[in-house]
Amino acid sequence: MTPIMMLIASLPLVCEGLRERPPRNFVFFAREHQRIAEASFLTHERVAGAQLTYTWRELEPERDRYDLQSVREHLAFLERHGKRLFVQLQDVSFSERMFVPEYLTTDTAFHGGAARKYEGDGERARFAGWAARRWDPAVRVRFLKLIAVLGAEFDGRIEGVVIPETAIGFDNPRLRPADFTHESYVEGVREIMSAARKAFPHSCVVIYANFMPGEWLPGGDKGYLRAVYAHADRIGAGVGGPDLLPHRRGQQNHSYPLIAARQQGVVAGVAVQDDNLAERDPETGARVTVAELYRFATDRLRLDYIFWGTQEPYYSTEILPYLRGLHVR
């Protein structure tokens, strides 16, 4: 065993469900990496670290050439200031930008590397970004290699890695990739989870399992989303989602009950995304508060991690002051 592997083996497992303790608070800076230098973040005693997004394309600019320097630099900076790093490994976009490496789009063996996704159905369907072909074994093996490379260097050093949401807009058969099947997508997601857990035995692995194509709960339950959560329980991967929305029926019928019912020791983390704090209680009409989101995250979902977004004016005037007033047990 090499010295670095001996060091990693001696590290304590950081990815253990906290459950009896309050959730750890991270700031989701996404692609605004430079903001980890902000004093309001670095000096905040109730903020454990930052969640930063890195695209597959930037981490593997050419086939088998990996550029991890930005992750190294951000990790070193955060470590010097007593903060932790969560890496969100982005393979899906919500714009015309494509986040898979260029070689996947030009080599015919990868069938384009990514597929266009859509929101809505029929004439109302509109383009909603690009999704890596997770169901395609040829593409998936490349993504799994990237995960292995990241794990070899950063396992145990970073707090965790997030795999983006499972929701994907392939409901319209006319616009769906010809080789896509719901079952192959489920299998692809599970294989990615297993590979990530193997690559990061000492850091958290969190899959944002919010919705799955081909079903809508509770009436159209095909078992796809439940299969992802069952697999997470089996392998000890974490679960969660990209939105904290206590009053949304979609989340209430899909991911939230499964997050709350996860097995002992399985971590969970949910992000407070843009406009989450603009939501209103349908019964009272009142806008949700940071305190309400925190109580829901703690009492209902029993989260281990909350990733707070930086949308203003909420971030500066509500989120940071509320977290500063928390009493840690």
Confidence category of residue 227, pLDDT binned at 50, 70, 90: very high
User: Could you give all domains of the chain from N- to C-terminal order, each with its CATH number?
Assistant: 21-324 (3.20.20.80)
Pairing of strands 126-132, 114-119: antiparallel
Nearest CA to 245 out of 211, 204, 215 is that of: 211
Nearest CA to 165 out of 132, 133, 209 is that of: 209
**Helix or strand run (H / E) with residue 84:** strand 84-90
Q: How many helices (H) and strands (E) does the chain have?
A: 13, 10
Least confident span in 11-20, 81-90, 275-284: 11-20
Confidence category of residue 266, pLDDT binned at 50, 70, 90: very high
What phi-psi label fits residue 328: left (phi over 0), alpha (psi between -120 and 50 degrees) or beta?
Answer: beta
Confidence category of residue 2, pLDDT binned at 50, 70, 90: very low
On the question of pLDDT at 4 being above 90, the answer is no
Radius of gyration, alpha carbons of the chain = 19
Tokens of 4: 């670095």
Confidence category of residue 12, pLDDT binned at 50, 70, 90: very low
On the question of pLDDT at 120 being above 90, the answer is no
**Helix or strand run (H / E) with residue 114:** strand 114-119
- Region 274-288: mean pLDDT is 96
What phi-psi label fits residue 122: left (phi over 0), alpha (psi between -120 and 50 degrees) or beta?
Answer: left
So what's the pLDDT on residue 261?
A: 96
Tokens of 24: 């750890």
On the question of pLDDT at 134 being above 60, the answer is yes
Q: What is the DSSP letter of 313?
A: T
On the question of pLDDT at 11 being above 50, the answer is no
So what's the pLDDT on residue 252?
A: 96
The model's pLDDT over 161-219, given as tens digits with 9 standing for 90+, comes to 999 999 998 888 888 999 999 999 999 999 999 999 999 999 999 999 999 999 999 99
Q: Is the pTM above the cut of 0.95? A: no
The model's pLDDT over 51-68, given as tens digits with 9 standing for 90+, comes to 999 999 999 999 999 999
